[in-house]
Amino acid sequence: MTVEAQTEAGSLGGDFVDAAEHALASGKLDAVSDAELEQVMTAAVRLYAAKAESDAPPAVVAPDRVTPTDIVVTVSALIRAAGLNLWDVSMWFNRTKR
């Protein structure tokens, strides 16, 4: 199915969001496989980064739906996955847009 057809049929991320929320609510975290989560996270990070470099970056998360712990755990994993350290991140944190 093409992206256009999926968009017309409904939310592109809706199935994943539903599966993730069900896994969290039921405590059955394996309902979403690690491979599926990796694919979704990779695509989301790449798309967010591309949009963030545009003139109108989107909101990253709904702040009322995540905790500070959720954010720090995720950001820490992303930093480690990229082989970065906090000094590297600090260089990007206050950078100005092009």
Over its length of 98 residues, how does the chain's per-residue pLDDT go in tens digits?
A: 455 555 554 577 888 999 999 999 999 999 999 999 999 999 999 999 888 888 777 888 999 999 999 999 999 999 999 999 988 888 888 777 65
Distance between CA atoms of 5 and 42, rounded to whole angstroms? 22
Same domain, 20 and 6: yes
Give Cα 11 distance to the centre of its chain. 16
Same domain, 42 and 55: yes
Same domain, 21 and 55: yes
CB 61 within 8 A of CB 67: no
* 14-28: burial string, b at 16+ Cβ within 10 Å, e else: eebeebbeeeeeeee
Same domain, 1 and 42: yes
Report the 10 Å Cβ neighbour count for 64: 5
pLDDT in the model for residue 97: 65
Q: Which domain holds residue 34?
A: 1-60
pLDDT in the model for residue 84: 94
pLDDT in the model for residue 9: 46
pTM here is 0.76
